[in-house]
A and B are shown apart, each in its own frame.
Chain A
Amino acid sequence: MSEPLLQLEQLTKRFGGLLAVDCLSFVVDHGEICAVIGPNGAGKTTLFNIIAGEQKPNAGTVRLEGDDITGLPDYGVARRGIGRAFQLVHLFESMSVANNVLLGAEDHRQLRIISAATHLGGHRRRMQMARARAEEALSLVGIKHLAHRAIGSLSLGQQRLVGAARALASRPRLLLLDEPAAGLSHGELDVLRAAILGVRSAQTSVLIVEHNVEFVLSFCDRVVVMNFGRKIAEGRPDEIRHSEAVIEAYLGRKY
């Protein structure tokens, strides 16, 4: 526990002449809900893509409990215990809610072709375990009643929760939430907030990228503010609300 859960050191990502992420460093501690906010084009999504292994940084390292995971492929990062829920939900459209979440609960490290073809070699035990985990994840975000619904029949808010449940079913150490509040109604925001607070535990930290500043400031432990790829402020929500730099760069005069 001495190492921070996630440690970003001097991360830099260039797209041609544009510095999307510029020498960015911060940490996420065990059991923490950390939010990254910033105006459009601040580099938040690029930062997420780098952590999730979808893009490689030009410089810097990503450490998970001290292990260097920079440059691992996306599925490799997932296997290390970083779960991810997408802004554009990215659910498996042909499957039920339960099977979407089951995908997250299953262990995909090995193909186990023979076991898959014969249902021998611990197949039943593994499936039971995965089903139990999936059910647990559905309960955790409070959508167990939706288990047998088709994805197409759900609202956007419900789909976001399915995405979160799928990411949680692997029991990740870190949950990445990409703009979870985008396009949600007030009622759905309350459900989402309750789900995120319910997820946070000693075993699971949450890192949120969010446009809806009021929403994240209402419950997160710590905020990192980005602008033009750089970190311009970091602190507790009340500190951020009163930070001169943040007010100037982002929140505007009315705050």
Chain B
Amino acid sequence: MHRFLAPNLRWLRWTAGALLLALFPVFVREPYYITLAVNLTTTLILTLSLNFVVGASGQWSFAHAAFFGMGAYVPGVFASRFGVDGWLGLPLGVASTMLLATVIGLPIVRLSGYYLAVCTLALGFLAEIIVRQAVDLTGGSYGIQQIPPLLIADYPLKGGSYYVVALAAMLASSLLLDNIKDSTLGHAILAARDNAVAAASCGVNVGRVKLTAFVIAAGLAALAGWVHTFYYLALNPSLLASDWTFLWYFMVFIGGLGSVPGVVIGTILLSIAPELLGIATQNQVLAFGLLMLVVALFAPRGVGGIIADLLRTDRVVPANRSAT
């Protein structure tokens, strides 16, 4: 009985959650909170995809901000310079970022641990430099202003109506990652992380599976970039700064690497708390650093680990959630 009900409940939960979240701008009309909500959805796409590539696939990628920036710049540049519609910019930005991730991923997914981290970090710095130098295309350090907004039947999407687009992108990303988790590909990704030799003995092409995880995460980061661009309608090369990647890592670690609910909580906590508490930007790093220290000392598996310990009913380590 449980088995038959489960899939319906899953869709019910997703639909109910989506409707509930979509109602947010109906009740909250203040632009400040709308901006906060759009930023939060963007950041959630980034942290969930980072959690996927680092947590599930075990690849320490520090190029996330670069992929985010590419996903932001490609549609932005096409829209402002060549008049390409913002909706068309979405597949354009995501596809070109995934293509780039494939090309750079082919050699670097063979690396692991520190080597992968250093290599992707260098690529992240390189990406920012390139964007700052390619002045003709990207506007250099000055950036790009007045990008034409997304339109639905000549009606420009902004504020509350744009939030719905951002929300849809976030929910689609989460659903995609949740589906992958319970698929042969998802199992292979975990297997390749846990034990490459054993994964190969099961017929898993470890290199290809790791590259796939890397490219999917890059594509999602690019989607977040697109959401960002058409909310702010302006671009600035500091978007590609590796500081962002570090911030997303903070969120993932404080939430608990590998735990989706934990990462969601970590992201909400670190995105919204400083705003609501009125902590100035320069003090944020200090606050996050202290928080990180506390988490590392007292809850090394983050918020997600605390939740898992609280929910645990028996001493048997829970298996991955069954697909049905």
Do B179 and A118 touch (CB < 8 A)? yes
CB distance from A153 to the nearest CB of B (A): 7
- Nearest 3 Cβ contacts at the A-B interface: A96-B319, A116-B183, A150-B317
Map CB proximity to B onto A187-217 as digits: 1 under 8 Å, 0 otherwise: 0000000000000000000000000000000
Q: How large is the interface on B (under 10, 10 to 19, 20 to 34, 35 or more residues)?
A: 35 or more
Given A75-B200, A108-B205, are A95 and B190 also a contact pair (CB < 8 Å)? yes
Do A111 and B179 touch (CB < 8 A)? no
Per the bound structure, the CA–CA distance linking A84 and B202 in Å amounts to 8
Given A106-B187, A108-B184, are A152 and B201 also a contact pair (CB < 8 Å)? no
Do B185 and A75 touch (CB < 8 A)? no
Do B183 and A75 touch (CB < 8 A)? no
Closest A residue by C-beta to B205: A75
A93 at interface, CB cutoff 8 A = yes
Per the bound structure, the CA–CA distance linking A54 and B188 in Å amounts to 19
Number of interchain pairs (Cβ within 8 Å): 125
Do A112 and B320 touch (CB < 8 A)? no
A132 at interface, CB cutoff 8 A = no
B residues at A contact (CB < 8 Å)? 176, 179-180, 182-188, 190-191, 193-195, 197-206, 208-209, 212, 216, 316-317, 319-320, 323-324
Do A108 and B203 touch (CB < 8 A)? yes
Per the bound structure, the CA–CA distance linking A115 and B180 in Å amounts to 9
Do B198 and A111 touch (CB < 8 A)? no
Per the bound structure, the CA–CA distance linking A99 and B216 in Å amounts to 23
Q: Flag the segment in A30-38, A62-70, A122-130, A237-245 that touches B.
A: A122-130
Given A116-B185, A117-B180, A119-B183, are A166 and B202 also a contact pair (CB < 8 Å)? yes
Closest A residue by C-beta to B320: A99
A86 at interface, CB cutoff 8 A = yes
Per the bound structure, the CA–CA distance linking A91 and B191 in Å amounts to 9
Closest B residue by C-beta to A149: B316
A12 at interface, CB cutoff 8 A = no
Per the bound structure, the CA–CA distance linking A75 and B184 in Å amounts to 15
Per the bound structure, the CA–CA distance linking A238 and B303 in Å amounts to 62
Do B195 and A108 touch (CB < 8 A)? no
Q: Which residues of B contact A118 (CB under 8 A)?
A: 176, 179
Do B201 and A92 touch (CB < 8 A)? no
Do A75 and B204 touch (CB < 8 A)? yes
Q: Which residues of B contact A74 (CB under 8 A)?
A: 197, 200-201
Do B185 and A111 touch (CB < 8 A)? yes
Do A103 and B188 touch (CB < 8 A)? yes
Q: List 10 A-B contacts (CB under 8 A).
A: A74-B197, A74-B201, A90-B195, A93-B195, A96-B319, A102-B187, A106-B202, A127-B324, A148-B316, A167-B201
Do B188 and A150 touch (CB < 8 A)? no
Q: Which residues of B contact A27 (CB under 8 A)?
A: none
Contact among B183, B200, B216 for A115, CB-based, below 8 A:
B183
Per the bound structure, the CA–CA distance linking A109 and B188 in Å amounts to 11
Per the bound structure, the CA–CA distance linking A90 and B204 in Å amounts to 14
Do A116 and B179 touch (CB < 8 A)? yes
Do B320 and A91 touch (CB < 8 A)? no
CB distance from A110 to the nearest CB of B (A): 9
